[in-house]
Amino acid sequence: MQRLEKFVDPLPLLNTLQPSNKTRNGAHYDITMEEFPAKLHRDLPRTTLWGYNRQFPGPLIEAFRDEPVSVTWHNELPNRHILPVDTSIHDLDKLPTVRTVVHLHGMETKPESDGHPDAWYTRNFQVTGPTFTQRTFHYPNHQRSSLLWYHDHAMGLTRLNVYAGLAGMYILRDKHEASLNLPSGDYEIPLMIVDRSFHPDGSLSYPAQPNDADPNLPNPSIVPAFLGDTIVVNGKIWPYLEVEPRKYRFRILNASNTRGYRLSLDNGEVLHQIGSDGELLRKRVEMEEIGLQPAERIDVIIDFSELEGQTIILKNNLGPGADPADGMGEIMQFRVTEKLKSKDTSNLPVNLSYVPSLKQDEIKTVRYLKLVGSTDEYDRPLLLLNNLKWHDPVTENPQLDSTEIWAFINTTNFSHPIHIHLIQFQVLDHQTFDLERFNEDGTLLFTGAPQAPLANNRSWKDTIEVPAGTMTRVIANFGPYTGEYVWHCHILEHEDYDMMRPYRVITDERKDKK
């Protein structure tokens, strides 16, 4: 399809959803998944999407620390999918085609509210999956302020449900953050970045099979990666935003299936990064460019105060397709054309938060977890964690409130953003090893000293890029709840097949009984 003209539609600003009711037990929301038409670009016919409350991104939820939120996520989707469903994986031919379950990514909550992939349900809860227990999910919000996001997590369908539009953002605030006097109100803007492809009639394009697929492959057949040719921010294709000459705070999420970005400004100004996935950083860092893998979030301040009248492009320097001629090298445009409404009294603080290091904790267990490439019976790529599939029994059982190190050993040729539910972790280091040697005889031969994470990855994280041929170690304290959670690669095509594993937080007694 011909490329759509850039920067012709204004960036949609997201409205905060009002709760359906508020009681002593917190705010309750009813949110409904539905099919709806959306105008994503001036020159593109309407696109059929799936969205929460007929919106893409879904409605913004704002919460305050220690004030609980509950949500009933209603499924009113049609019974046929708008995208090609591969039923050859996970015995999906035996299950209803359209299944959903919502995960609030980054939230510390009980397993029943975490959106376990097998806790799926169909329209109006008619059919429910094996781990489904309740219709309303509870979010305690007993954690640090941050940008979280909710998205579909149904087993074997996550890539398609999210691509169809089932993703939204959730901002958790607290007193400490409020005391910093960061840009707020109209000057704090959440941005959800995704890549998509379209047919000329406006419909979403997602491959039914890999390019030049073997005729023996199932049809549809899952693809090992998806890279779109169009950028969509807050539901508009390559939008622009008119800003005042002052500081703005942007809460940025990469909600793409596979694509990672490296963001920078085309005028050479730095991005003042103040937060990452799980909280503010200890100290502000000035970044010339910031890597953003699927599911990662960054909290940045851009200072437009000296840029009156200028046009600035938020660029992406990470391929494929990132060279300017290819289109994917640009995300959106800022136009410093608005008059300053009032003096900018917000701060750009250096010291942001106290983040205690977990390194001094007693380490109960170190787990070595391999990211492995293999092939399935059709000779398709099958990516695995520790050579196990999603439905194999639990092998990781951290004890409640114990601190563990998880060492991810990436033996494949590309990086994987690894995400652990329930907890926020700290990245210890990345260490390269001889990948060729490993693939020959399984020897793990390190080729360098452990490297500290980048300065902007030294706070709380729940998703981290594990580069090819490295061992990346993270440290976390497991709790405050027990039960079954999951960890996985957040490239959705990998997560669905089959880079996802259950893990269980257990108590001592339970372990003794075994």
Residues that bind ligand C2O (CB under 6 A): 103, 105, 151, 153, 295, 419, 421, 486, 488, 490
Task: Tell me whether residue 272 or residue 421 sits nearer to Cu ion (CB atom).
Answer: 421
Contact 279, 324 (CB under 8 A): no
Residues numbered 441 to 500 that lie near Cu ion (CB under 5 A) are 489, 491, 494
Task: Tell me whether residue 174 or residue 496 sits nearer to ligand C2O (CB atom).
Answer: 496
Q: Segment near Cu ion (CB under 5 A), from 30-38, 140-148, 246-254, 409-417?
A: 409-417
Amino acid of residue 465: E
User: Of the candidates 105, 135, 106, 103, which has an alpha carbon nearest to the alpha carbon of residue 116?
Assistant: 103
Residues numbered 412 to 441 that lie near Cu ion (CB under 5 A) are 416, 421
Q: Is the peptide bond before 43 cis (omega within 30 degrees of 0)?
A: no
- What is the C-alpha to C-alpha distance for residues 36 and 184, in angstroms, rounded to an integer? 31
CB of 149 to ligand C2O, least distance (A): 7
Task: Tell me whether residue 27 or residue 295 sits nearer to ligand C2O (CB atom).
Answer: 295
Q: Which does residue 430 bind out of ligand C2O, Cu ion, none, counting CB within 5 to 8 angstroms by kind?
A: none
Task: Tell me whether residue 313 or residue 489 sits nearer to ligand C2O (CB atom).
Answer: 489
Q: Is the peptide bond before 215 cis (omega within 30 degrees of 0)?
A: no
Task: Tell me whether residue 147 or residue 486 sits nearer to ligand C2O (CB atom).
Answer: 486
CA angle 198, 199, 203 (to 5 degrees): 75
The CA-based diameter of the chain, rounded to the nearest angstrom, is 69
Q: Which does residue 6 bind out of ligand C2O, Cu ion, none, counting CB within 5 to 8 angstroms by kind?
A: none
CB of 254 to ligand C2O, least distance (A): 11
Would you give the binding string for Cu ion spanning residues 73-112, x where CB under 5 A is met? Answer: --------------------------------x-------
User: Of the candidates 397, 405, 369, which has an alpha carbon nearest to the alpha carbon of residue 505?
Assistant: 397
- What is the C-alpha to C-alpha distance for residues 455 and 452, in angstroms, rounded to an integer? 8
Q: Which does residue 153 bind out of ligand C2O, Cu ion, none, counting CB within 5 to 8 angstroms by kind?
A: ligand C2O
Task: Tell me whether residue 334 or residue 485 sits nearer to ligand C2O (CB atom).
Answer: 485
Complete edge-to-edge strand list for the sheet that includes strand 167-173: 58-64, 167-173, 146-152, 102-105
Q: Radius of gyration over alpha carbons of the chain, in Å? A: 22
CB of 162 to ligand C2O, least distance (A): 9
CA distances from 326 to 210, 229, 292, 317 (A): 21, 8, 19, 12
CA angle 300, 295, 235 (to 5 degrees): 75
CB of 158 to ligand C2O, least distance (A): 8
Query: Strand pairing partners for 190?
Result: 251
Task: Tell me whether residue 419 or residue 430 sits nearer to ligand C2O (CB atom).
Answer: 419
Contact 241, 143 (CB under 8 A): no
Q: Which does residue 314 bind out of ligand C2O, Cu ion, none, counting CB within 5 to 8 angstroms by kind?
A: none
CB of 105 to ligand C2O, least distance (A): 3
CA angle 454, 458, 463 (to 5 degrees): 90
Q: Which does residue 488 bind out of Cu ion, ligand C2O, none, counting CB within 5 to 8 angstroms by kind?
A: ligand C2O
Task: Tell me whether residue 170 or residue 248 sits nearer to ligand C2O (CB atom).
Answer: 170
Q: Which does residue 405 bind out of ligand C2O, Cu ion, none, counting CB within 5 to 8 angstroms by kind?
A: none
Task: Tell me whether residue 312 or residue 383 sits nearer to ligand C2O (CB atom).
Answer: 383
- Helix or strand (DSSP H, E) at 283: strand 280-287
- What is the C-alpha to C-alpha distance for residues 103 and 71, in angstroms, rounded to an integer? 11
CB of 486 to Cu ion, least distance (A): 8
CA distances from 1 to 41, 194, 444 (A): 14, 18, 46
Residue 330, token pair as written in the block: 């640009």
CB of 462 to ligand C2O, least distance (A): 8
Q: Nearest to ligand C2O by Cβ — which residue?
A: 105
Q: Which does residue 416 bind out of Cu ion, ligand C2O, none, counting CB within 5 to 8 angstroms by kind?
A: Cu ion
Residues of this chain that bind Cu ion (CB under 5 A): 105, 416, 421, 489, 491, 494
